Amino acid sequence: MSDQVDYRLVLPPGWARIPLDERAPTASNVVVNRAVTNAPVSAQSQVRRFVTAQLREVVQGARSVSGVDLYLPVDLVDGAPVALSIVVSAPELPESENSAADALLAFAARGGATAVEVGGRLAVRQAGDAAAVFGDDGQLQIPESRRISYAIVSPIGDRLLIVTGSMLRLPTPDADRVMDALEQLFDAMALSVRFAPAAPVNATVGVS
């Protein structure tokens, strides 16, 4: 079984890829520097500390689910951040599942799952919502969110490639419209995945 599932994913302008290996610190610095550049001069030191700490947590979380790449928007759209992050993972199959096909069937058994094709490969799309989290004082701590995952059968080895998008429903008057736009954006990015078994490992690091 190959330990490396090589793939390509089309990024829109203003997105960055962070490989979750020894290149992560360098790629993370690119993201932090872009965030600092977008901030007012008077707030840049505070923004650097905040983004560095938040990004460290996000990278650790992505690694904990066998993530190989993290994709983040680094530019504002109409003056607002894009509340979407994407993790691509290639976890080893559990002992109870003998093949990628078995793993895909288990993935499909979850609620909200539908069969799809990605680049001619068999896949399953699964979507679910998480409720907002409020503190004891009634203040919003974590906004309502939606998570969508595509599990795609890899052409090499018994692995699934799992592409997961996490999007926040921010408390704004047009929250539904924004959430629909984020979902459409993620679907387009996930459906752009293509495998390249003989090509060099997904090489571009930094901002698109």
- pTM for the full predicted model: 0.83
Closest C-alpha among 196, 201, 129, 204 to residue 167: 129
State how far the alpha carbon of 184 is from the alpha carbons of 40, 93, 122, 132, 181, in Å.
31, 29, 20, 22, 5
What is residue 94's predicted lDDT score, i.e. its pLDDT? 67
Confidence of residue 157 (pLDDT cuts 50, 70, 90): low
Match 């698109």 to its residue by tokens: 208
> CATH 1.20.1070: does it fit domain 7-197?
no
pLDDT at 15 over 90: yes
Q: What is the pLDDT of residues 30-82, one digit of tens each?
A: 999 988 888 889 899 999 999 999 899 999 999 998 899 999 998 877 777 78
The span from the CA of 76 to the CA of 14, in Å, is 8
pLDDT in tens, 94-112: 666 667 777 787 777 777 7
